[in-house]
Amino acid sequence: MQLFHGTISEPIQKQSKCRRKVDDFMKFLRQHKKGAFIIGFVLMLAVLALLVASDVHTKNAADPTGISYAAVQGSQTLQKVASTANKALFGANYVWIMICAFMVFFFQCGFAMVETGFCRAKNAAHTMTMNFMVFLVGAVGYFLVGFALQMGGSGGNASLGGGGAVLNGMVSIPGLGGIFGYKGFLLNGTYDAGVYALFFFQMVFMDTTVTIPTGAMAERVKYSAVVITSFFISMFLYPLFANWVWGGGWLSTLGKNFGIGHGVVDFAGSAVVHSMGGMLALAGAIVIGPRIGKFKKDGTARAFPGHDIPMAIIGTIVLFFCWFSFNAGSTLSASDFRLSVVATNTMIAGAVGGLVAMFYMWGRYGKPDPSMTANGSLAGLVAITAPCAFVDAASASIIGLVAGLLVCLSVPFVENKLKLDDPVGAISVHGVNGFWGVLSLGLFADGKYGDGLNGVSGGVRGLFYGDASQFAAQLIAIAVLLVWGFGVSYIFFRILDKVWGLRVDPETELEGLDVPEMGVQAYPDNQLVRCDLDQVSSDDAEIKQLSRFKDFDMARSGELTDNVEKAVPVIDHTSVQSAEQEIDSAKLTKVVILMKQNKFEMFKEAMNKLGITGMTVTQVLGCGTQKGRPEYYRGISTEVTLLPKVQVEIVVSAIPVRDVIETAKKVLYTGHIGDGKIFVYDVENAVKIRTGEEGYEALQGD
C-alpha cells in the first residue's frame, strides 16, 4: 500500500519556508518600530468598529429580558393561546417527571456502592454486579407483566394528558375494590406518550424494591437465585401491592368505599417501595441463614467490617441527592407547588435522622460510627417518603429523629435477638422505618394537602389533627404488608431454596463469591488479606441452612476422605531412606505447604495441637490451570489467573513428618480445585544465630 506521494522532504521544506517568512516579518517589525505601532493602532480601531456594529445589530434583533417572546405577534386566536398554554403546561410536566425518573434510576448506583462498601472485598464484584443486574431483570419483568398488573386499570394520570384512558382494565371484587389491572402487557395497546412516561416513572420505583433484599442476603446468595427473585418481584409481588395503593386498587378506595380516611395513603413509597423491600429482606435473611462465622456458639455476633466505608458514604450521598427526585417527583406535575415542601421535608428528615444516629453511636460507643450515620440518614429518608407532602417541617424533623433512633435500636435487635444476619441493615432501614413512615402519615398529616385524593374530599389529616380513621387505614397497610409482603416472600424463598438453591456452597462463600460466581476479581491488582472471619472456627454456631451440602460439616470440616490424595498432593523431595524409614530425631525436614487463605487459622491451630509452634508464613500469589474448567473474561479464555495463597514453611525433627503431612491434608481438604500442595525437603543443617546452636537444638525454644 502506498502511503505517501512525493518525497518525505516536501512537508519539511514547506514548514521551513513558512518559518522563514515569519522570521522575516518579525525582523521587519523590530527594525521599524514606528511602523509596527501604526499597524497595531489601525488593527485596534478596526476591532472596535466591528464590536460597535455588532452591538447595534444585537440591540435591534435580541431581547436579553425575554419579554418580547410573550408579546402578541400578528393575529392570535383564543384557541392558539389555549393550545400554547396547554403545551407549556404538559411539556413542563413531562420534563419534570422524566428528569426525576432519570435521577431515581441513579438510585441503583447509590445502592450498589452502599452494599458493596459494607461487604468484604472478596465479594465486591458479585455485590456490585448484582445491583446492576436486578435493574436489568426488573425492567424486563415489569415491561412484560408488572406494569399491566399495577397500572392497567388506573386510568393513567391527568397531568400527563388524556391518553391514560387506555388503562381501563381492572379486575375487582364486588364490595371490596380492585385487585389487579390487565391492560398494558408489553405496553401493548398503550402507544401513548403519557402512558410511556408513567411506565418509565413507575418502573424505576419498582426497581428500588427489587434492589433492597440483595443487601440482606449479600455475601452468600447465588447470583442465579437473585435473577429468579428479581423476576418474581417485578412481575408479581410488587405490582399487585402497588396496584392496591397506587393503581386504584382496594387499599386506596378504603376511604371512598368504607369511610376509612382517604384510604391507604403513601405519597412516594414508604409502604409500596421500602416496606415491601424490607419484608423481602426479612424473609430472605431468615431463609438463607447467616454468613459462616457470623454467630458464635454462645449466640453472640461477630462484626464483619465493610471493606470500603468511603464507598458506602459516597453511595449514601448519591441516594440522598436522588431522594429529592424520588419524593418531589411523585407530584407528577411541575405546576404542583407542593413539590418544594416535599423536597424540603425530605432534606430535613434525612439530615436529622443521620445526625441523631451519629450522636447516638458517639454517645454510646465513643465514636461516631460512619456506617450507622449513613444508615440513620437513609432511615430518615425512608420514613419521610410517605408523609413528605402532608406534613410541615417540624413534623418532618420529628419523623427523622425517631427514624434515626429506630435504626440504631433495630440493627442490634435484628442481629442479637432475632439472630438474623443483615450485612447492610436493609431490614432496619427499609422495613422498620418504612413501617414508621406509613404510621407517621397517619399521625402527623395536617390536612393542608390531598383534597380529593383517592376520591375523598378534604385534605389528608392524621390522628394528631383529628382523623383517627386515617391512622386506621395506615395500620391496615402494615397488616397487608406483613401478610403479603413478608408471608408470600417467605413462601417464595422457601420454594426457591428447595428447588433451585438460594445459597452458594460453603467453600465458595469462604473463598469469596467473585471468582466462583462471576469469574473475575474486583481488585485483581491487589492481594486480599484474609483473616479468621474467612474460615471456619470451632467456636462457630451451626447453620442449619448448610445441612443440604452433604460434603460440608462445620464440626468436621477438616476430616480426611478418600479423595484427599488428589485434592492435596504431596511432593516428597527427601531421600529414599528418609521416606521409607521412620525419621530419626536428629533428622531435619522442611515441609512447605501452599493453602487457601481462609484455611490458615484452622491449619495453625492444628499445628499447635501437634506441638509445632514455629513456622514462616508468606502471603503469595499462585497460578495454575485446571483441565476442563476454563475461566473467561469478556468471552476470552483466561490462561493464567493469579490467586492469593498462603505459603507456610515448617522445619521438623522430633515430630514425625508423616504426622505433619496427614494433619495438613486433613485440615486443608475440601474436594474443590485449589486445595493446595505439600512439598517435603531434606535439610542439611539449621543454625540459631543468637546461641550458635545447630541441628535439632537450633529448633528448640529457650
- E-assigned strands of 77-131? none
- CA 442/CA 269 separation, integer angstroms: 14
pLDDT value at residue 602: 82
Beta bridge partners of 637: 632
Among 62-66, 250-254, 563-567, the range with the most confident prediction by mean pLDDT is: 250-254
Q: Among 412, 608, 418, 421, which Cα is nearest to 533's?
A: 421
At residue 39, the pLDDT reads 75
pLDDT of residue 139: 98
Give the pLDDT confidence of 572-614 residue by residue, as tens digits: 666 544 444 443 446 889 999 998 877 888 888 888 888 887 8
Question: Would you say 243 and 151 are in contact if contact means Cβ atoms under 8 Å apart?
Answer: yes
Taking residues 117-137, report their average pLDDT.
97
271-295 pLDDT, tens digit each: 999 999 999 999 999 999 999 999 9
Which residues lie below 8 Å from residue 439, measured CB to CB, with a gap of 6+? 471, 474, 475, 478
Helix (H) or strand (E) holding 136: helix 124-141
Judged by average pLDDT, the poorest of 136-140, 315-319, 689-693 is 689-693
Look up cell 413542563; give the residue.
92
Quote the pLDDT of residue 15.
59
What is d(CA 608, CA 21) in angstroms, rounded to the nearest whole number?
86
- CB-based contacts of 468, cutoff 8 Å, min separation 6: none
Does the pLDDT of residue 313 top 70, yes or no?
A: yes
User: Contact 388/268 with Cβ under 8 angstroms?
Assistant: yes
The CA distances from residue 400 to 28, 313, 395, in Å, are: 77, 19, 9
CB 403 within 8 Å of CB 436: yes
Q: Which residues contact 519 (CB under 8 A, 6 or more apart)?
A: 631, 632, 633
Report the DSSP beta bridge partners of residue 588: 683
Domains of the chain: 85-506 (1.10.3430.10), 532-699 (3.30.70.120)
How far is Cα 118 from Cα 308, in angstroms, rounded to an integer? 7
Q: What is the pLDDT of residue 581?
A: 43
By residue count, the chain amounts to 702
Identify the pLDDT of residue 641. 58
pLDDT band with cut points at 50, 70 and 90 for residue 668: confident
> Cell numbers at residue 414, please?
435484628
Residue-wise pLDDT tens digits, 494-534:
999 999 999 999 999 998 999 999 999 999 877 676 666 67
Q: How many beta carbons lie within 10 A of that of residue 605, not counting itself? A: 16
Q: What is the pLDDT of residues 8-56, one digit of tens each?
A: 455 555 556 667 776 776 776 666 667 667 777 778 888 887 877 666 5
Question: Cα 406 vs. chain centroid, distance in angstroms?
Answer: 22
What's the rounded Cα separation, in Å, for the pair 2 and 331?
Answer: 66
> Do 201 and 269 contact (CB within 8 A), yes or no?
no
> Residue 408's pLDDT is what?
97
Residues in Cβ contact with 286 at an 8 Å cutoff, skipping those fewer than 6 apart: 420, 490, 493
Rounded to the nearest 5°, which phi and psi values hold at 153? Answer: -125, 20
Which of 641, 560, 645, 526 is CA-nearest to residue 595? 645
DSSP letter (8 states) at residue 628 = T
Backbone angles phi, psi at 632, to 5 degrees: -130, 145
Q: What residue type is 634 in one-letter code?
A: R
Which three cell numbers, joined as nine digits, stand for 389?
Answer: 407532602
Of 692 and 28, which is predicted with more confidence? 692
457 falls in which pLDDT band (50, 70, 90)? Answer: very high
pLDDT at 566 over 80: no
> Any idea what DSSP says for residue 487?
I
Q: What is the CA radius of gyration of the chain?
A: 35
CA distance 525 to 527: 7
In terms of Cα–Cα distance, which of 415, 414, 487, 506 is closest to 222?
A: 506
Of 614, 693, 596, 597, residue with least CA distance to 660: 614
pLDDT, tens digit (0-9, with 9 covering 90-100), for 72-123: 666 678 888 788 888 899 999 999 999 999 999 999 999 999 999 999 999 9
Whole-number pLDDT of residue 238? 98
SS3 assignment, position 503: strand
Supply 377's cell numbers. 440518614
**The pLDDT of residue 558:** 44
Question: DSSP letters along 345-411, please?
Answer: HHHHHHHHHHHHHHHHHHHHHSS--HHHHHHHHHHHHHHHTTTTTTS-HHHHHHHHHHHHHHHHHHH
**What number of H helices and E strands is found in the chain?**
24, 9
pLDDT tier, 4 (very low <50, low <70, confident <90, very high otherwise): very low
More confident residue, 21 or 628: 21
Which residues, at least 6 apart from 445, have a Cβ–Cβ distance to it below 8 Å?
Answer: 265, 387, 390, 391, 459, 460, 461, 462, 465, 467, 470
* % of the chain residues with pLDDT over 70: 83
pTM of the model: 0.81
Could you report the per-residue pLDDT of 328-351, keeping only the tens digit for each? Answer: 999 999 999 999 999 999 999 999
